[in-house]
A and B are shown apart, each in its own frame.
Chain A
């Protein structure tokens, strides 16, 4: 745009209307103010264009999130992925914005950073940091086996633990043990 200072007052007025800027008469004392406003409006307009790329980026983020690993990736692309119908119960846990720190299934996915879901860059960095179970980088179709390794391993570990505890408990039912805890 050529310099606003060269334009006539009427032209400035027309431009202000174009940008939807409320204004009064363009006189000497108001001219510089309106020129400044027009400059800001023009700069803002230019800024809008690159943001369309951002939406594309978000979609991409969305795709990568689908088959994601348990770690804490829900951070970044929270919104759209929450709406996805996930059959995995553990996955749904992560989908919760607030309570995703809860699931301690196998003990690996200790979700630590609640405020990660801000920018995709933070997501990336944390994703790289998360060592266990990076399963996710393939095709976005993984709705069923998005978890892959984790889930059944978790169940196995759980079962083993349960059996172990049962044995311990059953072994505890002896006189010796009762004597120990008796006189308290």
Chain B
């Protein structure tokens, strides 16, 4: 990724704590709502899923697409955001 969004930078700058799932890069209102409906109501739950998928890009992208209908860009943004957060804090 050539450049990261402001949202991305903010998310990876600190531990996520109790941040909402909307705080993830690539996840806006619509996708956030869909994730919450499926039970992923906090960013850390999505993180949990990311970790259970062994931080694998393809699996995570597929999962995100199936769960909330994220497109390629959104998948990439979310994956990049979580991966960088893990690199920094995990």
- Interface residues of A, Cβ cutoff 8 Å to B: 22-25, 27, 29-30, 32-33, 36-37
Contacts and interface: CB of A to CB of B under 8 A. Distances in A.
A169 to B, nearest CB: 67
B49 interface: yes
Contact of A29 (B52, B54, B62): B52
Contacts of A32: 66
A33 B52 contact: no
Contacts, number: 28
B56 A30 contact: no
Given A24-B56, A29-B49, 12 more contacts: A22-B56, A22-B58, A23-B54, A23-B59, A24-B59, A29-B52, A30-B53, A32-B66, A33-B53, A33-B62, A33-B63, A37-B62
Contacts of A36: 62, 66
A74 to B, nearest CB: 39
A23 to B, nearest CB: 7
Interface of B: 49, 52-54, 56, 58-59, 62-63, 66
11 contacts: A22-B54, A22-B56, A23-B54, A24-B56, A24-B59, A25-B52, A30-B49, A33-B53, A33-B59, A33-B66, A37-B62
B73 to A, nearest CB: 20
A31 B72 CA distance: 22
B52 A27 contact: yes
Q: Which of B49, B59, B62 has the most chain A CB atoms closer than 10 A to its own CB? A: B59
A30 B62 contact: no
B62 A24 contact: no
